[in-house]
Amino acid sequence: MIERAPDLPDHFLVLERRESFGDYARTYGDAISAHYENRGVVVVPHMPIRFDLDFFQGIEFPPQLKKIGTANGLEKPVVRRSDGKLSVDTTHPLVGLFGNMSMAAYAQSQIASFNGQLRTGLALLFPHYRSLEEGNITWRLTETVEEGLHLDVFKGGKPLPQPSKSRHRVKIFINIDREPRRWRTSRDLPGLLKACRGALPGELPDEINVVNDVIDKLGVLKSQPCHNVAYPTMSAVFVNAEVVAHEVVYGRRMVAGEFGCAREDMLDPARHTHAAMRAWLEDAGYRIAPDAAAFAAGYEHLKGSYQKIVESRGA
């Protein structure tokens, strides 16, 4: 299931199989939260969620709907009630996908059930995260092949607004395909800042989203060693993809959940990624750019010269 690279830290916590979220919680307690907050990867061998797995293994979404989810109305009812009358919501994404009312309604009911069980499960696995709120639960029923090692970037690599940066991000990826989902993972962000020193600009802003965009676009991750992970049907990984380099090598069907909670709910608020970024930069020997927005705006103009440096060093 995991081929560990000998020249990388072993950042995996592999749980033993349990048949309920309560059993996982009783067995591991705070160990799951602690490992996750330390930028580790938590592997869950069996997600105890009941739904019509066989039905969804026969469905494929078009590429333009690769990351459709609750934020797009995927979970809302297909039938709506207005002025005392029931009617099909023809704007519902599943109605458009299936073109069949019965299939759309059935898929919606199964998705809503799955998502509800996931929310309940997360409350048990992360009991201290009392303010946990959902960002999106996406149903990615589209084939993905070698997407490239990367760190997650949002809003085009611009500085994130304070409300977003103040939240502790919790991400889970659940394989619902018949075949194992194959991943690669590499260093965490503080490790990358040190390993890529000299191939990145000497001055970087105290903004994870901007720095991640720089790292991704310069291609410095191509030379990094990787662990190989293959997780089978109904197993899952928890990983903060914002600060752990990762890549989907091959996968066809997956449910991804993104949630956030207040920093104060963390077991160790000092491990909050955005709060720790300045120390990571300073520890790796970077100067702090005074204006993150200006850096992000000017980066496209400067990217060519930085890219030449990277290519000359074979990164």
Across the range 288-294, mean pLDDT stands at 89
Across the range 212-218, mean pLDDT stands at 94
Q: How far apart are CA 193 and CA 196, in angstroms?
A: 5
pLDDT of residue 315: 34
Q: How far apart are CA 62 and CA 66, in angstroms?
A: 7
Chain mean position to CA 55:
25
pLDDT of residue 146: 93
pLDDT of residue 312: 42
130 pLDDT above the threshold of 60: yes
314 pLDDT above the threshold of 80: no
Q: How far apart are CA 75 and CA 53, in angstroms?
A: 17
302 pLDDT above the threshold of 60: no
Across the range 257-264, mean pLDDT stands at 97
**Selected residue with higher pLDDT from 164 and 278:** 278
pLDDT digits (tens, 9 = 90+) for 15-47: 999 999 999 999 999 999 999 999 999 999 999
Contact 176, 254 (CB under 8 A): yes
The residue among 309, 236, 313, 296 whose CA lies nearest residue 45 is 236
Report the SS3 class of residue 22: helix
In the chain, where are the structural domains located? 9-312
Q: How far apart are CA 315 and CA 309, in angstroms?
A: 9
pLDDT digits (tens, 9 = 90+) for 157-206: 999 998 889 999 999 999 999 999 999 999 999 999 999 999 999 999 99
pLDDT digits (tens, 9 = 90+) for 240-250: 999 999 999 99
**Amino acid occupying residue 208:** I
291 pLDDT above the threshold of 50: yes
Class (C level, CATH) for 9-312:
mainly beta
pLDDT of residue 304: 52
pLDDT digits (tens, 9 = 90+) for 61-93: 999 999 999 999 999 999 998 888 999 999 999
The overall pTM is greater than 0.75: yes
Q: Which of 35-44, 125-134, 228-237, 290-299 has the lowest mean pLDDT?
A: 290-299
1 pLDDT above the threshold of 50: yes
The angle formed by the CA atoms of residues 222, 290 and 167, to the nearest 5 degrees, is 70
Burial annotation 15-27 (CB, 10 A radius, 16+ → b, else e): beebeebeebbee
**Selected residue with higher pLDDT from 295 and 36:** 36
288 pLDDT above the threshold of 60: yes
**Selected residue with higher pLDDT from 278 and 291:** 278
- Mean pLDDT taken over the chain: 93
pLDDT of residue 180: 98
pLDDT band at residue 303 using 50, 70 and 90 as cut-offs: low
